[in-house]
Amino acid sequence: MTPFTVEIVTVGNEILSGRVVNTNASWIAERVTKLGGVVKRITTTSDDVEECSAAIREALARKPKLIITTGGLGPTFDDRTLESIANALGVDLDLNEEALRMLEEKYRGKVTPPRLKMAKIPRGGKPLYNPVGTAPGCLIEVGDTIIVALPGVPSEMKAMFEAHVEPLILRLPRSAYASRLIRVSAIEESSLAPMIEEVMKKCKAVYVKSRLKSNGETYIEVEVSSRALTTEEAEENAAEACRLLKELMVKAGAEVQEL
């Protein structure tokens, strides 16, 4: 089964300046992967409407099943993600009555002009309730692609992903995913490379990725992952590849620990 594909677009000048670390993208990517999807691209764009719109149009042209945006849904002048989505789609940004009711509930009827801005969503979109913060999210279908706009505040983004995006993903045709980690030391990555290649040739349903890590001492972290029709099959594939890889590494004198 071919897994569904996802692109993530994070919005904010503060990310591009290096002032804020893009933890939202890594969190979403990890959750999507574990749920059986494949993240094909992560894009970060400024708050500029034209730049953000261009990133969304480019993502749509690649036809992923999901485009998830984070950031730019608040009441300030630089929160312009929904405007950017509307611009990319060539539709108007309309005051949405359901989104307005959400804000009236949050603010106990005191919806000022800056707050009213958060009730304007692209025409054809559906507002998504924010259980933690105030700004509604938005879901809009464009052909076979679904765009979901989430807030940039991590606690709000995570709550809305779990409330709205995860149930959506669970309804999609998707593969099962399993992964295992191995910590390796007393061997160079260049010596490890042919072992990884050998295991991937023998175990066609796995992908093996190594990366140098440092936590007081330098070591190599090896991730063995597999996609299959069932979780059991994916787990078996990853376990067998780990077994073969550990045998090769131990024979080469490496110190091996499965995490």
Say whether 176-258 and 5-170 share the same fold: no
**112-123 pLDDT, tens per residue?**
999 999 999 999
**164-180 pLDDT, tens per residue?**
999 999 999 888 999 99
Considering the four listed CATH numbers 2.60.40.10, 3.40.980.10, 1.20.210.10, 3.50.7.10, the one that applies to the domain covering 5-170 is 3.40.980.10
Burial label for 205, CB within 10 Å (0-12, 13-18, 19+), is middle
CATH number of 176-258: 3.30.70.1130
Q: Which residues of 125-139 are buried (b: 16+ CB within 10 A; e: fewer)?
A: bbbbbbeebbbbbbb
| Cβ proximity of 146 and 66 under 8 Å | yes
Q: For the chain, which ranges sit under pLDDT 50?
A: none
| Cβ proximity of 47 and 93 under 8 Å | no
Looking at residue 151, its pLDDT comes to 98
Domain boundaries, the chain: 5-170, 176-258
Looking at residue 1, its pLDDT comes to 62
Looking at residue 174, its pLDDT comes to 87
